[in-house]
Structure 1
Amino acid sequence: MLKINRENLKTSHQLIWFIIDFLMLGLLIINLTLIIIDSTYSFIAVQNLLLEHAPRVQQLYQPVHENFLFLDMIFVAIFLSEFFVRWGYALKARVYDRWYFYPFIHWYDLVGCIPVGSLRFLRVLRVISIIYRLHQYRIIDVTQSRLYQLVAFYYDAFMEELSDRIVIKVLSGVQHEMDRGSPLFERIQGDILYPRREMLTDWISTRVAKAASHGYMPKRAELRIYLEHRVDHALKQNLELSRLRLVPVVGPTIQETLEDAVGDIVANVIHQILEDLASTDNHGFIEDIVQVMLPEPGAGEPDEARNDALIALINEIIEAVKDQVRVKHWRAELKQ
């Protein structure tokens, strides 16, 4: 049910016109209801049904049906009178640049007044225009009505389903074009990715540094112990190193010293690599990788393996986008 904002109605400088709007809205609803009833009664089957089950109703309405054109002309006279009054006001207030603009803009008011069955229902447009005008001036708030919310919900659901199918169809077409070797991939690589190599390098460098600092630094001690344990185990499995124990007196000492040295060297090397990755020093390393992945267009023969890897990467990105597009947000709202 629409609520009338009485404060806005009282403070409005067009109070008289809003009162006329409400009166016309009521008359239009009554008129359209009578049109629907009379159109339904026009069917012989309906008349026979009333005559059989409700003869009193049929007898009372039959004169109305026979004189419905005269009854409708009374409403038409009222509607036309209001139309010409508003046209005169528009001329006086210079609402439009030309005197004949008003009937052209409000054509549905005139055409709906023609007493022909199919044209009478154009009066619905007049109802919509009045409601829209009242909503525009904040006399009523259409968005708070259940009918509007219901229609808006299913409209959004329909548009989401339609747009999702279109987007998925387009993205699938892009994947198909890339898989069959169209120039699209070369354009993506040469015109989109290559000019943004520096941006990609910065982004990958930042992500690698963040991953290394958050993933490695807090567990540096545990990783060192693990590496030393694995190196020690590998050295003990080495046949040549185990023969050092056969050296008299100093053999076992040399073996243990060598195992500790190798384990410490491996752990330090790994530690230094991860520290470099966790700092801004990794930028040059990442830049070299990006340059190998995205060489300058036309430089050398194309690497099929590299191209296949990039195509697979782009396909995975598109699949992720398609999965997100498939999410039905309107269903989540329906469950609320």
Structure 2
Amino acid sequence: MSDPATPHKKGYRATRHDTAAWKLFLVYDIFMMFIIIVNLVCLCANAFLISNFAAWFFDQIHLTSVLTYYKTDLHPWVIKTESWFITFLVFELLIRWLISIIHKHHRRWFFFPFIHWYEVLAIIPYLRFLRLIRAAIIGYRLHELGYQVIPESIKNKILFYYNVVMEELSDRVVITVIDGIRHELNTSSSHKKIIHNLVDHHRDLFAKAVAELLQESLATELKVQQRYIADNVGEIVKKAIEDTPQLTQLLRLIPIAGSMIENQIQSIGQHLGENITLGLIEPLTQGTVQQPNAIYHLVSEKVSNLNIENQTLEELVESAVYESLESLRKQVKIKQWQLVLDKNDQAKE
């Protein structure tokens, strides 16, 4: 049953765990979990004992009298107690529904049977196994409250096998979807349009990524190498002036001051090359990864708006799509539960 709650506000209910009503509900939950488990154990035992296999088995161990006693004296009581238990579940469900209406546990009075659908269906004899869901929910709630209902080792095993089942189911679904996409791309005449739409849909994101990469890598490296590049350009300009024979010959015609003027021109050219290089590099080093500068924005927009109506580029995009699907398929096929088993086995060794 639901925990008793204090008056709610804006649809939320605060539950106090120190009240007598809450403790009463806690005892009731434990009682319900116990009788559900006992009921299901009795029904499973009854199903076995009235089966043909049980008749053969007891005949083999020469205890047919015990089986006969069960069928004549105990089996009718099992059927009768099951009828009583179903009647109890019906009244118990109706009472809890009435309590939920009085305390407004749900937004609408008729939500209760839909939220507790497994309890409604569990009343039907052929769907008795759904009673396990309620027992499991009660056990989980008690576990959340700090009560160790299920031993840790058993709980871990249950969670492990639950994860195995869910992983196998999800893997089959994902692999089927991936194979369907690949088949559609291979057989459909419109697969190029699909790929183009995929590229067009991600152009803005691609432009943003390119701008951030340029800012993070190119701008950072330019800032580090800025002085080195400027010095090299200055040396190149100086070397170019030295290797200009017409200028050297002209300056040598000037007596005495010719060589001095030549040195000054080389020095000026070197500094001019350095300053021009620094001036060209400086705008490329500005900005941050979060806000790349305007130049990188412009470059990224031009790159992202490239026309992919090109055979080589189309093949590149198709190859990237197919390899992405194959990589995803390989990753999905990896059995995580097997890795957990291997890890546990290694830990035991």
Asked if the contact 1:208–1:277 (Cα under 8 Å) also holds between the matched residues in 2, the reply is no
Q: Equivalences for 1:35-74 in 2 at 5 Å?
A: 35-38=46-49, 42=53, 45-48=56-59, 50-51=60-61, 55=62, 57-65=63-71, 67=73, 69-74=75-80
What whole-Å deviation, never above 9, does each CA across 1:104-131 have from its counterpart, x for those lacking one? 975544432xxxxxx3xx3222232233
Higher relative contact order (CA 8 A, sep 6+): 1
What whole-Å deviation, never above 9, does each CA across 1:168-210 have from its counterpart, x for those lacking one? 33554576589976322443455x256x3xx655553343122
Q: Equivalences for 1:260-279 in 2 at 5 Å?
A: 273-279=280-286
Partner of 1:291 in structure 2?
302
Aligned partner letter, 1:14 = F
Q: Equivalences for 1:222-261 in 2 at 5 Å?
A: none
Whole-angstrom distance in 2 between the partners of 1:89 and 1:176:
60
Whole-angstrom distance in 2 between the partners of 1:104 and 1:167:
31
Change in 2 beyond 3 A, CA 1:35/1:207 = same
Change in 2 beyond 3 A, CA 1:36/1:46 = same
Tell me how far 1:268 sits from its aligned partner.
6.9
Whole-angstrom distance in 1 between the partners of 2:97 and 2:191:
66
Asked if the contact 2:219–2:285 (Cα under 8 Å) also holds between the matched residues in 1, the reply is yes
Tell me how far 1:161 sits from its aligned partner.
1.9
- Out of 16, 23, 30, which is 1:12 matched to? 23
Asked if the contact 2:33–2:138 (Cα under 8 Å) also holds between the matched residues in 1, the reply is no
What whole-Å deviation, never above 9, does each CA across 1:140-169 have from its counterpart, x for those lacking one? 678962343123321342244235424533
Tell me how far 1:21 sits from its aligned partner.
0.8
Partner of 1:158 in structure 2?
168
Whole-angstrom distance in 1 between the partners of 2:53 and 2:73:
13
Whole-angstrom distance in 2 between the partners of 1:159 and 1:219:
54
Change in 2 beyond 3 A, CA 1:62/1:167 = same
**Structure 2: runs of 5 or more not aligned:** 1-16, 102-108, 253-258, 345-349
Partner of 2:135 in structure 1?
130
Q: Equivalences for 1:164-183 in 2 at 5 Å?
A: 164-166=174-176, 168-169=178-179, 172=182, 176=186, 182-183=192-193
Partner of 1:82 in structure 2?
88
Aligned partner letter, 2:316 = A
Whole-angstrom distance in 2 between the partners of 1:329 and 1:260:
69
Change in 2 beyond 3 A, CA 1:106/1:157 = closer
Tell me how far 1:65 sits from its aligned partner.
4.0
Change in 2 beyond 3 A, CA 1:178/1:217 = farther
What whole-Å deviation, never above 9, does each CA across 1:208-258 have from its counterpart, x for those lacking one? 1221232232244555677789x79x99xxxxx6999xx8x97xx9x9999
- Out of 294, 306, 316, which is 1:312 matched to? 316
Partner of 2:327 in structure 1?
323
What whole-Å deviation, never above 9, does each CA across 1:35-93 have from its counterpart, x for those lacking one? 25415663554344x33xxx3x4443342245553142243243134235425635764
How large is the Cα RMSD of the aligned pairs?
Answer: 5.5
Change in 2 beyond 3 A, CA 1:331/1:89 = closer
Change in 2 beyond 3 A, CA 1:68/1:97 = same
Aligned partner letter, 2:211 = S
Aligned partner letter, 1:323 = S
Whole-angstrom distance in 1 between the partners of 2:81 and 2:49:
15
Provide the TM-score with structure 1 as the length reference. 0.59
Matched residues, number: 300
Whole-angstrom distance in 2 between the partners of 1:130 and 1:9:
23
Asked if the contact 2:122–2:128 (Cα under 8 Å) also holds between the matched residues in 1, the reply is yes
Percent identity between matched residues is 8
Aligned partner letter, 1:153 = N
**Structure 1: runs of 5 or more not aligned:** 1-5, 113-118, 236-240, 296-301
Corresponding position: 1:146 with 2:156: yes
Aligned partner letter, 2:95 = Y
